[in-house]
Amino acid sequence: MSDEPALADVVLHPVRLRIIQQLGGRDRTTAQLRDALPDIAQATLYRHVAALLDAGVVTVVDERRSRGGVERTLALGERMAAVDQAELLAMGGAQLRTAFLNFLGDITGDFDRFLGADTEQSRELVGFARTPLYVNTEDLAAIQAGLAELLAPYLTERADGRRRVNLATILLPEPSDPNSRRVGE
């Protein structure tokens, strides 16, 4: 049995989710994280960075001397910050609800920060929608693989004037209706 904590226990904390979002596709120094997350106390930020480092979710990619201390540059580590299907299946209902609410809270916080800095240029990049899909697990795996391939060129920060946006996905199966007939039956 592994001594590593469950990934969900590590990443599904509101502060850690925000740190992970800041690192997605780019390296950031601890000073850059402080600047990007000014509402989080420095000691709290460092404590959560340490938890992410301990879990292998975040890694140190560079260190340099700065003002008598060492400034670390961080990136997402080998243990990616995504909770896999096995971990979701192992969660009880209350834990899954808490994880989902943390996820939604993180997105809501991002949206509030967007509204606080709202510009016409930013509005050109915002959007949200819902689309019902009819899938089985194999279909879903194919869709996810296709999305991963489609999105791969856009996951790394570039210096060509492209703006960073966050794409969030949520899959919610509808409850089965015992009275409904399936197509083809």
3-state secondary structure of 64: strand
How confident is the model over 88-106, as pLDDT tens digits?
Answer: 888 888 888 888 888 888 8
Could you give the CA distance from residue 20 to residue 18 in angstroms, rounded to a whole number? 5
Q: Which CATH number fits domain 7-121: 3.40.50.300, 1.10.260.40, 3.40.50.2020, 1.10.10.10?
A: 1.10.10.10
Q: What band does 11 get if pLDDT is binned at 50, 70 and 90? A: confident
pTM above 0.85, yes or no: no
Four-point Cα dihedral 54, 164, 172, 91, nearest 10? 0
Domain boundaries, the chain: 7-121
C-beta of residue 73 within 8 angstroms of C-beta of residue 60: yes
C-beta of residue 102 within 8 angstroms of C-beta of residue 17: yes
How confident is the model over 153-182, as pLDDT tens digits?
Answer: 998 888 888 888 888 888 888 887 666 555
User: What is the number of H-type helices and E-type strands within the chain?
Assistant: 8, 3
- Residue 26, token pair as written in the block: 């780019």
Side chain identity at 32, as an amino acid letter?
Q
**Conformational region of residue 107, where left means phi above 0, alpha means psi within -120 to 50, and beta covers everything else:** alpha
- Residue 49, token pair as written in the block: 């960075």
**Is the pLDDT confidence value at 185 over 60?**
no
C-beta of residue 23 within 8 angstroms of C-beta of residue 76: yes
Q: Rounded to the nearest 5°, which phi and psi values hold at 102?
A: -60, -45
How confident is the model over 20-78, as pLDDT tens digits?
Answer: 888 887 899 999 999 999 999 999 999 999 999 998 889 999 999 888 888 899 998 87
pLDDT computed for residue 1 by the predictor: 42
- Residue 120, token pair as written in the block: 């016409």
